[in-house]
Amino acid sequence: MDETPDSFDPGLLRYLKTLVTALTGVMIVGLVAVIYLLVIRLNADVPPLPSRIVLPEGVKAQAFTQGEGWFAVVTEDQRILIYGRDGATLLQEVAVIDAQ
């Protein structure tokens, strides 16, 4: 077999073309899947608060997080309520000030 740069095996070139085409297809499908999952995740509803957290009357939760010994609830009226692990004991209330 001649090993000069001018001689190429047509079967090998066809094989490489098929591999590149398949890789391109897989990458396109993967990118579409990632975008689809991001859109679904970012449009998801906020999960409900645990039932043991008792908010004051008329207060609606906007966000929720938890630590080792506490729960924190960000309310729609711009407060952060920090509860003990029992969910009923209010440990601290922090007012969020708009910095604009």
Q: Is the pTM here over 0.75, yes or no?
A: no
Which parts of the chain fold into alpha helices (H)?
10-42
pLDDT confidence band for 4 (50 / 70 / 90) = low
Contacts of 3-6 with C-beta under 8 Å, sequence gap 24+, read none
User: pLDDT by residue (tens digit) across 10-22?
Assistant: 899 999 999 999 9
* pLDDT (tens digit per residue) in 30-50: 999 999 999 988 887 766 777
- Give the separation between CA 81 and CA 92, rounded to whole angstroms: 6
Give the range among 2-6, 49-53, 83-87 with minimum mean pLDDT. Answer: 2-6
Residue 30 to residue 17: CA distance in whole angstroms: 20
The pLDDT of residue 32: 98
Instruction: Please give the mean pLDDT across all residues of the chain.
Output: 87
